[in-house]
Amino acid sequence: MRVRQPAVVSSGRPEVSRAPSGPSRARSAPTRRSGLPSPGQTAVAAALRQVGRPYVWGGGSSAGPTGGGFDCSGLALHAWSRAGAALTHYTGSQFRQGRRVPFSQLRPGDLVFFGGGTGDPTHVGVYVKNGVMVHAPKTGDIVRTTDFAASTYYRSRYRGAVRPTPRTAAS
């Protein structure tokens, strides 16, 4: 690494270059060396392509919408099928299909779960970034993005997150 010598200004003293003040820059998520999207990024892209589709109870499969739309677990199942993971079509079992991830370590594609008290969670979304998820909220609604980290409703019902594992060529 080459060290830059300070410039001398008319006063005869070196000019001091200062780094910008304030908080340090947030680090971006590590990029894959291959340049290909991660499985989580693939899942996010698949889920975001469904924004605007209607909520349909029981809707969604690995192939896409069923009955014209998705429910929350059907959207998660579909998104992760595009990334090579097989999930069941039930939020409670999806909560047990993958590695638990702390909120501070969420990455695109992680599944975020809500509600259910001490029983199984009752809602799931696909984490996008910066506290935002894409999900199929409820009957009469559409697949949409929501800033759940800024929502008192969702924050108070947050149960945890899971990172699904895609199948590998060896499995």
Catalytic residue among 44, 46, 47, 72: 72
Active site annotation includes 78: no
Q: Which domain holds residue 127?
A: 39-163
Concerning whether 89 is annotated as a catalytic residue, the answer is no
When pLDDT is averaged across residues 32-61 and rounded to a whole number, the result is 93
pLDDT of res. 28: 38
In a domain, 158, yes or no: yes
Residue 20 confidence (pLDDT) above 90: no
pLDDT band at 116 (very low <50, low <70, confident <90, very high): confident
Of 2, 29, 1, residue with least CA distance to 107 = 29
- 53, 89, 135, 163: the catalytic one is 135
Instruction: List, for residues 80-95, the tens digit of each pLDDT value.
Output: 999 999 999 999 999 9
Whether residue 27 lies inside any domain: the answer is no
Count of domains for the chain? 1
Indicate the residue type of 72: C
The reply to whether 71 falls in a domain is yes
Distance of CA 98 to the CA centre of its chain: 14
Q: Is residue 154 part of a domain?
A: yes
Q: How large a percentage of the chain has pLDDT more than 70?
A: 78
Sequence-ordered list of residues with C-beta below 8 angstroms from that of 9, at least 6 positions apart, any chain: 15
The better pLDDT of the pair 106, 36 is held by 106
- Please report the DSSP string for 145-159 in residue order: EEEGGG-HHHHHHEE
* Active-site residue, 135 included: yes
